[in-house]
Amino acid sequence: MDHRRRINELVSGIEQMGLEGAIIFSPENIHYLTGAPFVRGSYGKLLFVDRNVGASLIVTDLDYQETSDSVNSAEIVKTDFMEKPLDRLRKIVKGSPKLGFEDGIISTALREKIGEYRLEPLRGLIERMRERKDPDEIALIEKAQSINDRAIKKAVDNMREGMSELEIAAELEYNLRREGGESFAFETIVASGSRGVYPHGMPSTRRPSKGDAVVIDFGAKYGGYCSDMTRTIFFGDPGAEVRNAYEAVREAQEKAIESVRDGVSGREIDAVARGILDRLGLGKFFVHGLGHGVGIDIHEAPVVGPSNENPLAAGNVITIEPGVYLPGKYGIRIEDLLVVEKGGGRDLTRFNRELIVI
């Protein structure tokens, strides 16, 4: 990973904004800029970028060893015992430079706490850099998605009627780990039968049977990057109506995938899938946008849905995941992960989308 290039790009960006530096708290942004390992939701590190001096990564004792073993694009500064990174920052910042901060992430309480600095919002500067993945990043996401591919294949081979949603999740995650997933991209969804209408349904003790549709949505992290995949698998033959709905979702997904290329907006791609489901009378059950960007975060820019009229760009990594949810009956969703390229989209997902009956 060329972290120095990213730091340089950030420095150019802040210079264009008339800033002399930036204070970065988000573990995801720090990982992007330095490769520092991170734990979701942990704010133990602080990256200070000075346009003249370079980047300093302030870490506590707790994280010092692991960080210094893995970062070379920033100077590592260790705090004293029980000293907070913000306290150490005060000793590093000279004068009163104008500094950018992550206004989309920093809470108003934390903003107050750093009120002594002359601060300007970065307005998503780093997140915009992250939207267009470089080849190193795409390679990690491709590897993460291949872990999903192998894990779902093995898990499906072990699925049997009588298993609970929790047991199905156990199989998926067990194989995700053994295939190399260094953690999970998000909380695994296994939602069967009428629970399938919960698009974020956590696995329960419910045991699918008698043709139940089982929505499975899971992902790995590899090298800090996420994969994402959904398949809907049937426990018993679901009958003609549900088979037709499945084929409709599949057609919507395939046609949407064919429409992916640089220059097309998220709204236009969403409309392809939505148009097909509308025509087949299922549009009103497609209650979410078609997809989202994926990278260090499982949900990041760009949005693939009615709200995004901006053109996609080569290097975006996006999901295409139409779904229909019939209250009290069933849910069906199919999701692949793609890289946007010049003139087309490259699907990183290999596992097939034929209707599978256990």
Please give the residue ranges that form the binding site for a second copy (CB under 8 A): 37, 39-42, 60-63, 65-66, 81-82, 101, 103-112, 121, 123, 166-167, 169-171, 173-175, 177-178, 180-184, 186-188, 197-205, 287-289, 299, 305-307, 325, 327
Give the three-class secondary structure for 88: helix
How far is it, in rounded angstroms, from Cα 199 to Cα 326?
A: 11
For a second copy, the closer CB: 52 or 108: 108
For a second copy, the closer CB: 50 or 171: 171
Work out how close the CB of 330 gets to a second copy at its nearest, in angstroms, rounded to a whole number: 12
For a second copy, the closer CB: 75 or 182: 182
For 253, 266, 321, the CA distances from 290, given in Å and listed in that order, are 9, 8, 5
Work out how close the CB of 199 gets to a second copy at its nearest, in angstroms, rounded to a whole number: 5
Task: Write out the two tokens for 6.
Answer: 């990213």
For a second copy, the closer CB: 8 or 164: 164
- Is residue 74 within 8 Å of residue 50, measured between CB atoms? no
Task: Please provide the distance, in angstroms rounded to a whole number, between the alpha carbons at the two ends of the chain.
Answer: 42
Place of tokens 């107050």: 112
Work out how close the CB of 298 gets to a second copy at its nearest, in angstroms, rounded to a whole number: 8
How far is it, in rounded angstroms, from Cα 47 to Cα 216?
A: 37
Per DSSP, the residues of 19-36 read: -SEEEE--HHHHHHHH--
Work out how close the CB of 79 gets to a second copy at its nearest, in angstroms, rounded to a whole number: 11
Work out how close the CB of 173 gets to a second copy at its nearest, in angstroms, rounded to a whole number: 5
For a second copy, the closer CB: 7 or 220: 220
* Region label for 95, one of left (φ > 0), alpha (ψ between -120 and 50) or beta (otherwise): left
Work out how close the CB of 328 gets to a second copy at its nearest, in angstroms, rounded to a whole number: 9
Per DSSP, the residues of 222-276 read: ETTEE--EEEEEEES---HHHHHHHHHHHHHHHHHHHT--TT-BHHHHHHHHHHH
For a second copy, the closer CB: 188 or 265: 188
For a second copy, the closer CB: 62 or 357: 62
Work out how close the CB of 171 gets to a second copy at its nearest, in angstroms, rounded to a whole number: 8
For a second copy, the closer CB: 174 or 243: 174
Could you tell me where the DSSP H helices lie in 135-229? 135-158, 165-178
CA angle 138, 143, 144 (to 5 degrees): 95
Work out how close the CB of 44 gets to a second copy at its nearest, in angstroms, rounded to a whole number: 9
- Is residue 98 within 8 Å of residue 19, measured between CB atoms? yes
